[in-house]
Chains A and B, each alone.
Chain A
Amino acid sequence: MTLKEQVSEALHDVDDPELGINIMDLGLVYGVDIDEENNVLVTMTLTTPGCPMHDSISTGVENRVKSIDEVENVEVKIVWEPQWDPNRMSDHAKELLW
C-alpha cells in the first residue's frame, strides 16, 4: 500500500462529531498530496463555514495522519471552494443519514 493510500485509509477513522460519519464518506476531503520528504497536505472542506467543530476535525486529521510512521509533517488546508453539498457523500454515508 502506498503512503497516499495509507493516509486515505487513515482518514476513514476521523469522524465528523456531529454526524458520526467519517470525513471520507462525507466527501469532505478534496485531496491528499505527499511530497518527496513524506510531508502530507490534506485539502478538505467542512459541511458549513460556520461549523463549530472546525478545529476538532482539522486537529483530528492532523493527529490521525501523524500517527502513520512514514509521515513527516502534516498540514490541513481548509477550503470553501468548491462548496460541499450532500451529493459528495458516499452511498454508505447517505444510507446512514437518510
Chain B
Amino acid sequence: MMTWIIFSMLGYLYKIVPFLVWTHKYSELVGKEKVPSLKEMMNEKLGIVLYRLFTISIFGIIVSVAFSSGLALWIFLGIQVLASIIFAITIIRVLLK
C-alpha cells in the first residue's frame, strides 16, 4: 500500500514540477518568443529508467529480508538510494531551468 502511494507521489511530482515551473517562467512568453515545450522540461526516458530501478529495488529489498540476505539487502538499498538521488537531482534541475 505504502509502495503504491509513494510511486503515485513520485509520478505526480515528475509531472507537476515541470508544469508549475513552465507556467511560472514561460506562460506569459508564449507567442512573444520561442519557449520550451513541457516535454523539454523533463527527461521522460530517464523517468522510466528511475521507476524501473525503484521497482527492482523494492522487490529486491522484500526478497532480501525474506531470505535474510544482508548482502542482497545492501545492494538493493544502494540501488534505491542511487535512484532517489538521481530523481532529486532531476527535479532540482527543472527548478533551475
Contact = CB atoms under 8 A, between A and B. Distances in A.
Contact of B31 (A52, A55, A64): A64
A14 interface: yes
A57 B32 CA distance: 12
A90 interface: no
Interface in B17-53: 19, 22-23, 26-28, 30-32, 35, 37-40
Interface stretch (A15-23, A24-32, A33-41): A15-23
Chain A contact residues: helix, strand, loop or mixed: helix
Contacts of B28: 59
Interface centre among A14, A17, A53 (most CB of B within 10 A): A17
Given A17-B22, A52-B19, A57 B30 contact: yes
Contacts of B40: 20
B31 A60 contact: yes
A89 B37 CA distance: 19
A61 B22 CA distance: 17
A62 B38 contact: no
B37 A62 contact: no
Contacts of A6: none
A84 B60 CA distance: 46
Contacts of B19: 52
6 contacts: A14-B31, A15-B30, A15-B35, A60-B31, A63-B30, A64-B31
By Cβ-Cβ distance, the 6 closest A-B pairs, closest first, are A60-B30, A63-B31, A60-B31, A64-B31, A20-B37, A56-B27
